Amino acid sequence: MLLDHIKANLEKLYDIDTGISIQDYLCEDDKTPDNDGGVNVLFDPEKNVLFLNIQLHPRYLKILNNESFANRLTRKNILYYYVLTEEVSHFVYLFWKCGISDISPSDVSRQELELQGKIDRYILLMDFFMKQNDGETPVWMKNMLFEKLPHHFESQPEEIYAKANLFAKKYCSVIEHNFILRQDTAGLLKDVRRVYSYNERNKLNHIAHSRFIQ
């Protein structure tokens, strides 16, 4: 299933293991989300138990088992990959931080979650596209992801979206220039894994001080 494929790629990228299947946490009821989807979080501090599920708009559920769709990324279907990748990113990040690393969900800010999600979607979509095109770098992808996507794909308040988008765009530009185009996989993994482990403050500070290698 496409969702578990995305999850597996995230786990490989960050060298983590959630030990779960997204399918087991997918909410497939008849209720239509107000937006394209979301990750629902319920935390019981007294029992120290975390409940998570991922809910998607029915139009996304219909395409998950479409093999031809799942195996080919194009400009036409990138919006679907965009939503699916970011929602899985949110789920995995919360599961890893709160379910495995034992951090309270209240300590993970919405800004932190959105920023990491935008970084994840860029790296995974870039990797997907390059693999299906013999290493060709899609020069249009960064501009589409950070500049041209319609705002109805964003469910967060404008200030959260704008800040997360701004910092993610800068970071993705830096890692593309410093690591991806130079085919420096070791350098890329070292940097993105460090950022993944950071909280919101440290993520923003790291990105603010990131520089392009000459």
pLDDT at 30 over 60: no
Predicted pLDDT of residue 56:
79
- The pLDDT mean for the chain works out to 82
Give the tens place of pLDDT for each residue, 80-100.
Answer: 788 888 889 999 999 898 877
- 34 vs 167, which has greater pLDDT? 167
Please tell me the distance from the alpha carbon of residue 131 to that of residue 198, in angstroms, as a whole number: 29
Top mean pLDDT of 17-26, 33-42, 66-75 is at 17-26
Top mean pLDDT of 38-42, 64-68, 189-193 is at 189-193
Distances (CA, A) of 55 to 36, 61, 84, 113, 165: 9, 9, 10, 16, 23
Predicted pLDDT of residue 119:
97
- 103 vs 188, which has greater pLDDT? 188
Predicted pLDDT of residue 9:
94
42 token code pair:
């319920």
Residue 105: band (very low, low, confident or very high) from pLDDT cuts 50, 70, 90: confident
Distances (CA, A) of 94 to 38, 61, 124, 206: 12, 22, 18, 21
Give the tens place of pLDDT for each residue, 148-165.
Answer: 655 444 555 577 788 999
Please tell me the distance from the alpha carbon of residue 132 to that of residue 208, in angstroms, as a whole number: 32
Give the tens place of pLDDT for each residue, 107-144.
Answer: 888 899 999 999 999 999 998 888 888 888 777 888 88
Supply the angle between the helices 2-14 and 185-197 in degrees, to the nearest 10.
100
Residue 37: band (very low, low, confident or very high) from pLDDT cuts 50, 70, 90: low
Matching residue, tokens 């395409």: 63
Q: How many CA atoms lie within 13 A of 209 on its CB side?
A: 7
Give the tens place of pLDDT for each residue, 176-200.
Answer: 999 998 999 999 999 999 999 999 9
